[in-house]
Each structure stands twice: as structure tokens, then as C-alpha cells.
Amino acid sequence: MSILFSGRAVGATAAQPNLLQKLLRGIFTHIRQAITSLGELWRSPLWTLITVAVLGVSMTLPTTLHLLVKNIQQVSRSYDQSFEISLFLKNDTTPTEISTLVTLLQGDAQVAKVRLIDKAAAMSEFKQQSGFGEALAFLDQNPLPDVLLITPKINQPAAAEALMQKLQKERYVELAKLDISWLERLAALMNLLQQAVYTIAILLLSAALLVIGNTIRLSIMDKKTEIEVMKLVGATDAFIQRPFLYTGIWLGVFGGFLAFVVVEVMLWWLRSAIATVTQLYQSDFVLNSLTMQEFGWLMLIAVLLGLVGSYIAVRSHIKAIEP
């Protein structure tokens, strides 16, 4: 495009390329600038390393905390799914009355499942698990009540609580029990932890943003004469900016990957320690690492940080350099 000489065939437009050729040329220019920026990073390895390290560390901490929250949630979820209300029935309830009650409860819209553990079953279970087997044999009468285990339809503490209150009033029910207070506390704690993760992430990432911006600024200052020459021979600001933006993207890619590697190494290191603990607790807990999707998010955030950091530097400094 020539502003001064309307007839003059200028630049790449001279050959009248079609849309596809233009597009390919544009893509080619971008790829070339991206690769050039990658090469530029090796010219100042110290600053590159410092910036990548800052970005990597800043992303490692929030990622680790995120994994911690995720793993705790995974543990607590197995409890979440087993909200169960225990209904201890009155001792003098007859089997007919019990089966009536069971049918009644099964018809209740809020109840998902009803399971009956009668006196005899409870006794044998207790004998097995408690280790009092022989002592219990001396009892002439089974002291255990019949128990109904109710699984509520809605798996939430509040709904389960309401259902329990209702069942408590049933005629044959001696006592209804639902132990959810610790689950609620855990949920509240998890929420707090999650908020902390966000806060820490925002603080660390803004610091990383400033460091990236500063690195790009130094790189711009370093190339001041080059930028002047490019402006003199007709480069647009966009053209001059692009390599620096790509530099930011590369810093983001490396920083994000560094965070990923550090987190993975840390998990690998913790895994054996956790295996010992879970063995002692006879739990089948497995430490979850980053999923493919979470890795994608990590990289995306890192790249965005690099891009935004360099954009801030580029916006304010490239305009200021005039031949």
C-alpha cells in the first residue's frame, strides 16, 4: 500500500497475490518472527533463565496448592457420597411393624434407599468386628436395636439434616443419627484453602507479570538502535512489537513447563511417603497429579502471563523510541 504514489506497485502487493498466498505469507512471517525470538532468548541467557525461573516458581506454588485441595476433595468426596441416616428403632417394635415402616419409607420421595439391619444381623456383625465374640455369648438377650440405614435422595448436608429431623418423628424410631458436622467443617476449611490458593496465585502471578515486563523492557532498550533503523525504513509499530510479544510467549511456555516439571518431581517424591501413610491407615488413597486438562490450563495461564507482561512493556516503550 503506497499512500504517496497511487500507481506504485509496492512490496508484496506488487505480484498481486491472492488471498491464500497473502495468508500463507502472513503465517510465514509470524513463524519466522517466532523462531527469531526464540533465538534471541539465547543471546541473553541469564535474563532468560531468571525470568523463566521466576515465572516457574510463581506458578509452582499455586499449582501445588491446587493439587492439595483437589486431593483432599477427592478424599472427602468418598464421604460426601455416603450420607446415611441411622434410625435406631424402639426395642419393642415387631417385625411386621418394621416391614410396614420400611415400605412406608421406600415410598418417601426424599429417600433413595432403605436397608434393614435387624437385631440378629447387627449382633453377628458386632461379634465379628468388636472382638468381644465370646463375652457376648454370655448375654441371654440381644441388647442391640433394629437399625434402618436410610440413604437420602439429595446428597447435601442440609437436605440430609432435614430428612433426619423428619424421620426422628416417626413412631417406631427411638433415635435418628446423622454425623455431618465434621463434613461441614471440612467443606468450610476446603473453601478457605481454595480462597487462599486464589489469593496467593494472584499475588505471585502479578509479581511474575512485572518481572516479564521488565525483562522485555530491557530487551527493547537493548535493541533501541535496531528499532530506530526499522522505523526509518518503514516498519509499523505492530511489526516491531511482534518479536517481543513472541519472546513473552516463549518465556511463558518455558515458565509453565518448568512449573509442571517441579510439581511432578515433588509429587513423585511425596508419593512414596504417602504410600507408607495410606498403608498404615489401610486406605486406598492415590495421590492425583495434574490431568491433561489442568496441564493445559497451567500452560495457557503461563503463556497469557508472558504475552500480557510483554504487551505492557511493548505498549509503553516501543512508541517512545523515535528516530
Partner 1 sequence: MLRFEQVSKGYSGGFVALDRVSFELAKGEMAFLTGHSGAGKSTLLKLISLIERPSAGRVFINGVDLTGIKPRQIPYVRRDVGMIFQDHRLLMNHSVFDNVALPLVIEGFTGRDMAKRVHAALDQVGLLDKARCLPATLSGGEAQRVGIARAVVNKPPLLLADEPTGNLDPDLSKDIMRVFEAFNQAGVSVLVASHDLGLIARMRYRTMTLKGGRMINDGLLHHEDSE
Report the nearest approach of partner 1 to the CB of residue 22 (Å). 8
CB of 8 or CB of 77, closer to partner 1? 8
Q: Could you say which of 100, 103, 236, 291 contacts partner 1 (CB under 8 A)?
A: 236
- Cell matching residue 228: 530506530
Q: Which residues contact 134 (CB under 8 A, 6 or more apart)?
A: none
Residue 232 contacts partner 1 per CB under 8 A: yes
Report the nearest approach of partner 1 to the CB of residue 207 (Å). 32
For every residue of 97-143, DSSP letters joined together read HHHHHHHHHHT-TTEEEEEEE-HHHHHHHHHHHHS-HHHHHT-SS--
The side-by-side arrangement of strands in the sheet containing 111-117 is 111-117, 147-152, 85-89, 173-177
Residue 35 contacts partner 1 per CB under 8 A: no
Residue 19 contacts partner 1 per CB under 8 A: no
CB of 161 or CB of 222, closer to partner 1? 222
Report the nearest approach of partner 1 to the CB of residue 2 (Å). 6
* Residue 269 Cα to chain centre, angstroms: 20
Report the nearest approach of partner 1 to the CB of residue 235 (Å). 5
Residue 4 contacts partner 1 per CB under 8 A: yes
Residue 228 contacts partner 1 per CB under 8 A: yes
> Given the rule CB under 8 A, which of 9-17, 134-142, 178-186, 259-267 is the region that contacts partner 1?
9-17
Contact 84, 93 (CB under 8 A): no
CB of 13 or CB of 181, closer to partner 1? 13
Q: Parallel, antiparallel, or unpaired: how do β-strands 85-89 and 111-117 relate?
A: unpaired
Q: Could you say which of 173, 200, 230, 253 contacts partner 1 (CB under 8 A)?
A: 230
Instruction: Return d(Cα 263, Cα 242) in angstroms, integer.
Output: 32
Q: How many residues bind partner 1 (CB under 8 A)?
A: 29
What are the φ/ψ torsions at residue 9 (nearest 5 degrees)?
Answer: -80, 115
- 3 state SS of 5: coil
CB of 13 or CB of 199, closer to partner 1? 13
Instruction: Return d(Cα 48, Cα 16) in angstroms, integer.
Output: 41
Report the nearest approach of partner 1 to the CB of residue 314 (Å). 16
Report the nearest approach of partner 1 to the CB of residue 32 (Å). 8
Report the nearest approach of partner 1 to the CB of residue 246 (Å). 15
Closest CA to 313 of 39, 30, 47: 47
Letter string b/e over residues 182-203, b meaning 16 or more CB atoms within 10 A of that residue's CB: ebeebeeeeeeebeebeeebee
CB of 2 or CB of 78, closer to partner 1? 2
Residue 234 contacts partner 1 per CB under 8 A: yes
First to last CA, the chain: 22
> Given the rule CB under 8 A, which of 101-109, 116-124, 149-157, 226-234 is the region that contacts partner 1?
226-234
Contact 95, 119 (CB under 8 A): no
Q: Could you say which of 23, 188, 196, 235 contacts partner 1 (CB under 8 A)?
A: 235
Residue 79 contacts partner 1 per CB under 8 A: no
- The contact set with partner 1 (CB under 8 A) reads 1-5, 8, 10-12, 15, 25-26, 28-29, 225-226, 228-237, 239, 322-323
